[in-house]
Amino acid sequence: MLLDQLADRQLVHACLLSGEKGLGKKTLASRMAASLLCESEGRMRPCGACRACAMSANLEHPDMIVIRQGAPLSPDVKKDRATIPVDDIREMIRLCSLRTMGGNARVVLIFDAEKMTPQAQNSLLKTLEEPPENTFILICTDHPDSLLTTVISRCRHIRLRPWPNEYVEKVLRDQHVASERIRDSVRYASGSIGKALELAGDETYWQMRREVLSAFFAGKLRSGILQTSNAWKDRKADAPRMLEILESMVRELLQVRLGGDADTEVPLFPDNWAHFARSAPVERFLFLLDAVSQARKQLQFNVNFQAVLEQLLFAFMGEGSQW
Q: What residues make contact with Zn ion under the rule CB under 5 A?
A: 38, 40, 46-47, 50, 53
55 vs 158 by CB, closer to Zn ion: 55
Q: How far is the CB of 96 from Zn ion (least distance, A)?
A: 22
Q: How far is the CB of 159 from Zn ion (least distance, A)?
A: 28
48 vs 240 by CB, closer to Zn ion: 48
67 phi, psi to nearest 5 deg: -110, 125
59 vs 289 by CB, closer to Zn ion: 59
52 vs 243 by CB, closer to Zn ion: 52
Cβ neighbours of residue 109 under 8 Å, at least 6 residues apart?
29, 30, 33, 59, 64, 65, 66, 67, 138, 140
Q: How far is the CB of 280 from Zn ion (least distance, A)?
A: 57
277: burial class by Cβ within 10 Å (0-12, 13-18, 19+)? buried
Q: How far is the CB of 56 from Zn ion (least distance, A)?
A: 8
Q: How far is the CB of 65 from Zn ion (least distance, A)?
A: 19
8 Å CB contact between 164 and 191: yes
109 vs 212 by CB, closer to Zn ion: 109
Q: How far is the CB of 4 from Zn ion (least distance, A)?
A: 17
134 vs 190 by CB, closer to Zn ion: 134
50 vs 218 by CB, closer to Zn ion: 50
8 Å CB contact between 216 and 246: yes
- Residue 139 host element (H or E): strand 135-141
Nearest to 242 by CA among 286, 212, 202: 212
Q: How far is the CB of 117 from Zn ion (least distance, A)?
A: 35
Where helices occur in the chain by DSSP H, the ranges are 2-7, 25-37, 51-57, 86-96, 118-129, 149-153, 165-174, 179-188, 193-200, 203-216, 223-232, 239-259, 271-279, 282-300, 305-320
Measured distance CA(51)–CA(60) in Å, rounded: 11
98: burial class by Cβ within 10 Å (0-12, 13-18, 19+)? exposed
8 Å CB contact between 317 and 296: no
Residue 180's CB is within 10 A of a number of other CB atoms, namely 7
45 vs 284 by CB, closer to Zn ion: 45
Q: How far is the CB of 105 from Zn ion (least distance, A)?
A: 13
Residue 42's CB is within 10 A of a number of other CB atoms, namely 9
